[in-house]
């Protein structure tokens, strides 16, 4: 059983729905709740309103991520904002040697997805020509790690030296500082360390682009710095939380720096949004996914979701999804103030790698998981396994098969084995690994947690739990400084 969209994107739920799995009767018991959830999504699209959602300052806040796929005048993504992104592309292309994307959480994870899927592991090892004139890309700010930051600085200095010796000009390095709140310690500490080191380095020429809350009245620290220093700015608009920000300037500045097709990415999200407006659950991927996973938890105790794409460059999609799920659905109280301790714990896995480690637990451990596969149907430049050792039967037997085909046989075998032992699993299929299909997938997942928030009656758009440690950490740091 599967739901297939016109684009070829599909959701195969054969191993999640039916006898011994989530049943028709179980889904039926949520009929009214699903209708209400669907109605709430309509209101969210039209008015940006989500019942009982408050910002971290306790103020009513709009939820606007569903507007992002629609590039229109007066929208958060508009022809003007896309033109502004094009300016960044034009500026970095054949000009900037390296971009360091600094951010954490929602200001990092989406950018890493776009980089991994579009550029891959060897982007920085390619020549300028092979990269089409686009800069090398580095990430920082996603930890406060002195070892890695020190290594990065040494590496960037060498890159600057190379520019002086081979291009006869200073190495041009752009620091893309991304922080909605504008003052996140992890991001800003790395920024200051790197900014200071490179500014003092005579072979490097640095510039800064800031991506932050655009509010002019109540400027973030980063916005104020940008104004004082004359740095260009891009926006993380009000109503777009970090985990949804891949569809706004946060993700799109990364896309602009590597020449990824922004319009195609947003078109994929837009077509998915249209599919998710269908009030027939069997035609609406986000509603169906949310309902099945919610029922799997409530009726069968499957409170862990293993996100397991097949393909190395999709691992960061799992990491992005961890934040989306954990921050959206891991809630102690429901929207009526009752203690519910809701949430399905998300886990990162990648096939085939984790079939040689986690799969033992998925196959035989506690019956508490849904394994969610992601499959790419057709790989660009697939490789055929050659018959280089014809006398070695085991190796000759796998020759003539492409690596993409072998990958899918491995995934299918894993799915069959799990199913044979009452282990729930499902699969999203992308016809190809393109910006369009990536946009479809990520948007569907974002919309799905919004549906599930409605079903569980929790606020899927706040994250009060991450404030707890921050309240402790601030004074601790101050005490540390005072004691020096």
Site residues (CB under 6 A) for ligand PA5? 104-107, 179-181, 184, 187, 241-243, 323, 327, 463
Cβ at position 420, least distance to ligand PA5 in Å: 38
ω before 27 within 30° of 0 (cis)?
no
Q: Which is nearer to ligand PA5, 107 or 318 (CB)?
A: 107
3-state secondary structure of 21: coil
Place of tokens 């960044």: 88
Helix (H) or strand (E) holding 369: strand 369-378
What's the min distance (Å) between Cβ of 473 and ligand PA5? 12
Residue 175: closest CA among 197, 150, 144? 197
* Cβ(203)–Cβ(157) below 8 Å: yes
Q: Which is nearer to ligand PA5, 374 or 460 (CB)?
A: 460
Phi first, then psi, for residue 23 (nearest 5°) are -100, 165
Nearer to ligand PA5, 101 or 184 (CB): 184
Q: Tell me the C-alpha distance between 109 and 102, whole Å.
A: 11
| Cβ-based nearer residue to ligand PA5, 156 or 248 | 248
- Name which of 185 and 417 has its Cβ closer to ligand PA5: 185
Least Å from the CB of residue 187 to ligand PA5: 5
- Least distance to ligand PA5 from the beta carbon of 104, Å? 5
Distances from the Cα of 474 to the Cαs of 57, 178, 185, 220, 484, in angstroms?
17, 20, 9, 18, 16
Strands of 98-102's sheet in order across: 136-140, 98-102, 171-178, 204-212, 233-235
| Min dist. Cβ of residue 185 to ligand PA5 (A) | 9
CB atoms within 10 A of CB 354: 19
Q: Is 437 a catalytic residue?
A: no
CB of 332 to ligand PA5, least distance (A): 17
Candidates 327, 408, 440, 452; catalytic one: 327
* Minimum distance from residue 463 beta carbon to ligand PA5 (Å): 6
**Residue closer to ligand PA5, measured from CB, 111 or 284:** 111
Which residues lie closer than 8 Å to 104 by C-beta, 6 or more apart? 141, 142, 143, 184, 186, 187
Which of the residues 356, 393, 394, 481 is marked catalytic? 356
CB 179, min distance to ligand PA5, A = 3
Tokens 């195609």 sit on residue: 264
Identify which of residues 378 and 476 has a Cβ nearer to ligand PA5 in the complex: 476
Of 42, 167, 470, 476, the active-site residue reads 470
- Alpha-carbon distance of 448 to 430, in angstroms, equals 17
Measured CA to CA, the distance from residue 309 to residue 430 in angstroms comes to 11
2: which strand partners? 12
Say whether 59 is catalytic. no
155: annotated active-site residue:
no
The tokens for 291 are: 């309902």
Radius of gyration of the chain (CA): 23
Q: Which helix (H) or strand (E) holds 186?
A: helix 185-199
Paired sense of beta strands 98-102 and 2-4, if any: unpaired
Between residues 242 and 439, which has the closer beta carbon with respect to ligand PA5? 242
Largest CA distance in the chain: 75
Query: Which residues have a catalytic role annotated?
Result: 327, 356, 470
């Amino acid at each position: 059983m599967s739901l297939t969209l016109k684009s070829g994107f599909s959701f195969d739920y054969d191993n999640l729905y039916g006898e011994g799995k989530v049943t028709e009767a179980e889904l039926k018991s949520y009929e009214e709740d699903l209708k209400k959830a669907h109605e709430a999504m309509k209101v969210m699209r039209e008015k940006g309103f989500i019942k009982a959602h408050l910002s971290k300052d306790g103020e009513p806040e709009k939820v606007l991520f569903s507007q992002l796929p629609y590039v229109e005048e007066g929208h958060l993504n508009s022809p003007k904002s896309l033109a502004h992104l094009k300016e960044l592309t034009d500026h970095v292309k054949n000009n900037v040697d390296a971009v360091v994307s600094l951010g954490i959480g929602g200001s990092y994870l989406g950018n890493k997805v776009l980089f991994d899927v579009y550029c891959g592991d060897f982007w920085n090892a390619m020549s300028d020509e092979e990269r089409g004139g686009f800069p090398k890309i580095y990430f920082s700010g996603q930890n406060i790690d002195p070892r890695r930051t020190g290594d990065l600085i040494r590496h960037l200095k060498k890159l600057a030296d190379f520019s002086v010796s081979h291009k006869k000009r200073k190495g041009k390095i752009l620091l893309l500082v991304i922080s909605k709140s504008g003052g996140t310690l992890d991001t800003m500490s790395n920024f200051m360390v790197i900014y200071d080191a490179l500014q003092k380095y005579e072979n490097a020429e640095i510039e800064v682009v800031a991506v932050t809350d655009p509010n002019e009245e109540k400027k973030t620290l980063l916005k104020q710095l940008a104004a004082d220093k004359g740095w260009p700015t891009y926006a993380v608009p009000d109503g777009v939380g970090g985990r949804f920000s891949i569809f706004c300037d946060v993700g799109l500045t990364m896309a602009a720096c590597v020449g990824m097709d922004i319009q195609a990415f947003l078109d994929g999200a837009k077509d998915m949004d249209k599919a998710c407006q269908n009030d027939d659950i069997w035609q609406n991927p986000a509603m169906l996914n949310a309902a099945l996973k919610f029922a799997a938890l409530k009726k069968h105790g499957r409170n862990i979701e293993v996100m397991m794409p097949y393909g190395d460059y999709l691992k960061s999609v799992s990491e992005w999804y961890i934040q989306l799920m954990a921050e959206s659905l891991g809630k102690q109280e429901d929207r009526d103030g009752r203690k519910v301790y809701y949430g399905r714990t998300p886990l990162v896995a990648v096939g085939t790698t984790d079939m040689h480690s986690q799969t033992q637990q998925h196959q035989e451990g506690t019956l508490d998981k849904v394994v969610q596969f992601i499959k790419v149907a057709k790989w660009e430049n697939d490789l055929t396994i050659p018959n280089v050792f014809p006398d070695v039967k085991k190796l000759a037997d796998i020759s003539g098969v492409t690596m993409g085909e072998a990958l899918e046989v491995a995934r299918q075998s894993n799915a069959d084995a799990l199913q044979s032992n009452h282990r729930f699993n499902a699969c999203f299929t992308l016809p190809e690994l393109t910006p369009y299909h990536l946009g479809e997938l990520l948007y569907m997942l974002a919309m799905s947690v919004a549906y599930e928030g409605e079903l569980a009656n929790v606020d899927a758009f706040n994250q009060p739990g991450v404030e707890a440690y921050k309240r402790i950490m601030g004074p601790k740091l101050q005490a540390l400084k005072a004691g020096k």
